[in-house]
């Protein structure tokens, strides 16, 4: 049995770079040699020509519409992914004498905290239990945070541990900074809760090589003006994401993804679909006597379903990965730092893909019980 | 008369992002939904899967072959273009008490020098004449440079002024750092003359959103280890360009461009072709009584042919741009900072495109004399 689909494509459960909506890829393909009668590929286009003006304008305005972003916030399309933001955010927002704060929830907050420490003082206010594989988010309340902190860092969804904040911590007066690389655009969001949101593109946005940055303009303006101009958010705000040559092709694909979300009904529709997909898969794991979700029920991610074979049987996990791959269900291996199994079911994964995976898991269980 | 070609494509003389080889774009298009039987687009592929391993390995080894890069140098595919390198290079290479040096040859060295100044002390050793529009490169000799300088910055080809170093300045013991964004891979090159070369991708390499960095490993190792890890070349060397998610699609397209160069006969063949193209266009300008090259003969760029109408007649220039665009010869406007005319004829511009431009210029001259 093979689950491949149109154009012999597989169901790709990669944690990122991850699958894109097929209709978006088909548009990209059809316009690849000559975009909209311009006589050239988007890849070949000056970032200051009229065709690209329209592409950039559409990407920004469509994103603002979907996320309901007010004019108090700037929207930037930058290079360097979230990893560069780990450094750029503290470079811009750290104020001497005002320690940065963080909630530590796994591998990616660890990376962010490490970069924050190269810039200034950091206090980890709360931490998930590393010994327990970060399988549960820590409980926090506003009184734990210093209102004078430069900012508070969180990661909204933890791809490796498979946890996700269902509602965001109240941190008081300090700006909340969120790395939303793996769940931005997957559910409704109140931008006003945040000072800064950033997200690498390669999960819910578009091709790798870009980060979306949504920043309260007053915060960007406060930054140290002696920083290299490239690393100041203010430079990119002033340049309208064209302070220098932007990642034009990635912006174009992202714009098509935003169009796709908007046409499907925006974030409300997206959230509903993501909930259905996750319920289906977590439900199947609950019923299974061979596999189990490793994550505390209240904190389970709608994006990354992390699971293991009973008894953490690595041989059985390897067998599953190998047979699934052969059946056209790929990239089910857990992150190299933790092993196990993981199915990433971002926005672009249709429910049919999750159904195929559930069916495969049931068949596998019958044969391997 | 219209000069459009296969697939109704124009001849695109953009200074960057710029045209790509048609055969490369055709490959990208044909593999867009399913790359090499992987069942997914390159854009959807984990940066740690086997298919991408092969893409990255090919891009690096093909580039090493074309440029004859020894193991003393690391080759990195980074995000952020040359503009990020303007800051990243001094962050890594500046040593307290060892001023950086630069040769100032126009708009882009000005940008680089500005960023260098945010990091440490800078001495401009020689400068082209700004009053004269940087139309001639300054004369320099080894005795002008401090052997104890942290490094010496140059720009190998100046897209706006239209000048290009025909041979590189001898600067003595200090490492030579070259921004080669607009002429890398256009001619033979002795990598050993340089400590660090970087180049934004969007002229001779691939889509915007990437920089290629070629750095002597010992220089990368000397850098300050308290920098944010993202900004240390050493991090990216250690991670083999996968310190974090790299710009996977841009690397893939770049690899196809490197294959194309190699199959055409490498840099020797490329240089010959570029010389033919430039000779044709400069020759036509010499013969013209309506247009002239603004650049000193000995310093003329093979990549960016900057020219003006006699008497710097702006109305005539605007007429040319408008009629050329209508005829399918696009992006002939000079940089917004200087005006005038510019035809960028990078590697991917076939000689047929230059022939079409020359023919158009002659017809235009007949009608407007």
**pLDDT tens per residue across all 369 residues of chain A:** 688 788 999 999 999 999 999 999 999 999 999 999 999 999 999 999 999 999 999 999 999 999 999 999 999 999 999 999 999 999 999 999 999 999 999 999 999 999 999 999 999 999 999 999 999 999 999 999 999 999 999 999 999 999 999 999 999 999 999 999 999 999 999 999 999 999 999 999 999 999 999 999 999 999 989 999 999 999 999 999 999 999 999 999 999 999 999 999 999 999 999 999 999 999 999 999 999 999 999 999 999 999 999 999 999 999 999 999 999 999 999 998 899 999 999 999 999 999 999 999 999 999 998
pTM greater than the 0.95 cutoff: yes
Enumerate the residues of chain B whose CB falls inside 8 A of the CB of residue A202.
245, 248
Q: What are phi and psi of A210, to 5 degrees?
A: -150, 155
Q: How far apart, in whole angstroms, are the C-alpha atoms of residue B328 and residue B310?
A: 24
Residue B121 scores a pLDDT above 70: yes
pLDDT for B1 = 65
Give the model's confidence band at B314: pLDDT under 50 very low, under 70 low, under 90 confident, else very high: very high
Neighbouring CB atoms inside 10 A of A83's CB total 24
Is A148 part of the annotated catalytic residue set?
A: no
Residue pairs between chains A and B whose CB atoms are closer than 8 Å:
221
Enumerate the residues of chain B whose CB falls inside 8 A of the CB of residue A47.
17, 208
Enumerate the residues of chain A whose CB falls inside 8 A of the CB of residue B41.
20, 25
Share of chain B above pLDDT 70, in %: 100
Catalytic residues of B: 108, 179, 203
Enumerate the residues of chain A whose CB falls inside 8 A of the CB of residue B228.
86-87, 91, 115, 118-119
CB-closest option in A4, A38, A244 to B81 = A244
- Using an 8 Å Cβ cutoff, are B19 and A42 in contact? no
Interface test with B, best of A14, A44, A50, A325 (most B CBs within 10 A): A44
> How do strand A304-309 and strand A291-293 relate by DSSP bridges?
antiparallel
User: pLDDT tens-digit profile of B67-114?
Assistant: 999 999 999 999 999 999 999 999 999 999 999 999 999 999 999 999
ipTM, interface predicted TM-score of the complex: 0.98
Q: Output the six-digit token pair for B81.
A: 């273009």
Tell me the mean pLDDT in the region B39-60. Answer: 97
Of residues B118, B134, B63, the one with CA closest to residue B86: B118
Q: Distance from B83 to chain A by nearest Cα, in Å?
A: 7
Helix (H, G, I), strand (E, B) or coil at B346: coil
Kindly determine whether residue B40 and residue A7, on different chains, have CB atoms separated by under 8 Å.
no
The β-bridge partners of B126 are: B103
Q: How far apart, in whole angstroms, are the C-alpha atoms of residue A41 and residue B331?
A: 14
Give the model's confidence band at B5: pLDDT under 50 very low, under 70 low, under 90 confident, else very high: confident
User: pLDDT tens-digit profile of B200-248?
Assistant: 999 999 999 999 999 999 999 999 899 999 999 999 999 999 999 999 9
Q: How far apart, in whole angstroms, are the C-alpha atoms of residue A244 and residue A47?
A: 9
Q: How far apart, in whole angstroms, are the C-alpha atoms of residue B219 and residue B197?
A: 12
Helix (H, G, I), strand (E, B) or coil at B53: helix
CB-closest option in A39, A80, A248 to B9 = A39
CB-closest option in A81, A114, A230 to B244 = A81
CB-closest option in A17, A80, A82 to B43 = A17
pLDDT for A1 = 66
Residue B274 scores a pLDDT above 70: yes
CB-closest option in A10, A33, A208 to B248 = A208
Is A179 part of the annotated catalytic residue set?
A: yes
pLDDT for B369 = 81
Q: How far apart, in whole angstroms, are the C-alpha atoms of residue B146 and residue B317?
A: 44
Kindly determine whether residue A336 and residue B245, on different chains, have CB atoms separated by under 8 Å.
no
Kindly determine whether residue A331 and residue B46, on different chains, have CB atoms separated by under 8 Å.
yes
Kindly determine whether residue A43 and residue B207, on different chains, have CB atoms separated by under 8 Å.
yes
Kindly determine whether residue A14 and residue B46, on different chains, have CB atoms separated by under 8 Å.
yes
Is A299 part of the annotated catalytic residue set?
A: no
Kindly determine whether residue A81 and residue B79, on different chains, have CB atoms separated by under 8 Å.
yes
CB crowding B25-35: b at 16 or more within 10 Å, else e: bebbbebbbbb
CB-closest option in B4, B18, B29 to A32 = B29
Q: Catalytic residue among A11, A165, A203, A299, which?
A: A203
Enumerate the residues of chain B whose CB falls inside 8 A of the CB of residue A79.
79-81, 84, 209, 247
Enumerate the residues of chain B whose CB falls inside 8 A of the CB of residue A10.
38-40
Kindly determine whether residue A39 and residue B14, on different chains, have CB atoms separated by under 8 Å.
no
The β-bridge partners of A155 are: A179
Q: Distance from B39 to chain A by nearest Cα, in Å?
A: 4
């Amino acid at each position: 049995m093979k689950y491949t689909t149109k154009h012999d494509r597989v169901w790709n459960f990669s944690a990122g770079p991850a699958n894109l909506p097929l209709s978006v890829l088909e548009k990209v393909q059809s316009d690849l040699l000559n975009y909209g009668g311009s006589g050239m590929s988007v890849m070949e286009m000056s970032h200051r020509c009229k065709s690209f003006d329209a592409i950039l304008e559409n990407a920004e305005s469509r994103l603002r519409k979907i996320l309901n972003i007010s004019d108090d916030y700037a929207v930037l399309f930058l290079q360097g992914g979230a990893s560069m933001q780990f450094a750029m955010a503290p470079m811009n927002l750290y104020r001497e004498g005002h320690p940065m704060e963080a909630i530590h929830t796994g591998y990616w907050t660890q990376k962010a905290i490490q970069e924050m420490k190269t810039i200034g003082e950091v206090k980890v206010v709360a931490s998930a239990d590393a010994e327990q594989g970060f399988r549960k988010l820590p409980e926090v309340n506003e009184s734990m945070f210093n209102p004078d902190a430069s900012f508070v860092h969180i990661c909204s969804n933890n791809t490796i541990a498979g946890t996700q904040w269902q509602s965001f911590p109240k941190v008081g007066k300090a700006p909340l900074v969120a790395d939303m690389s793996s769940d931005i655009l997957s559910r409704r969001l109140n931008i006003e809760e945040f000072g800064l949101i950033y997200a690498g593109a390669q999960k819910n946005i578009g091709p790798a090589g870009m980060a979306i940055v949504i920043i309260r303009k007053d915060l960007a303006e406060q930054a140290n003006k002696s920083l290299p101009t490239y690393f100041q958010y203010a430079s990119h705000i002033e340049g309208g994401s064209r302070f220098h040559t932007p990642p034009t092709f990635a912006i174009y694909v992202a714009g098509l993804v935003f169009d796709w979300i908007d046409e499907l009904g925006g974030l409300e529709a997206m959230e509903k679909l993501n909930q259905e997909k996750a319920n289906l898969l977590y439900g199947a794991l609950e019923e299974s006597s061979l596999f189990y979700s490793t994550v505390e029920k209240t904190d389970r991610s709608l994006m990354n379903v992390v699971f293991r074979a009973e008894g953490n049987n690595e041989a059985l996990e390897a067998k599953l990965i190998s047979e699934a791959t052969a059946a056209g269900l790929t990239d089910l291996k857990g992150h190299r730092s933790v092993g196990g199994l993981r199915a990433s079911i971002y926005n672009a994964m249709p429910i049919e893909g999750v159904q195929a995976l559930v069916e495969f898991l049931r068949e596998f269980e019958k044969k391997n019980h």
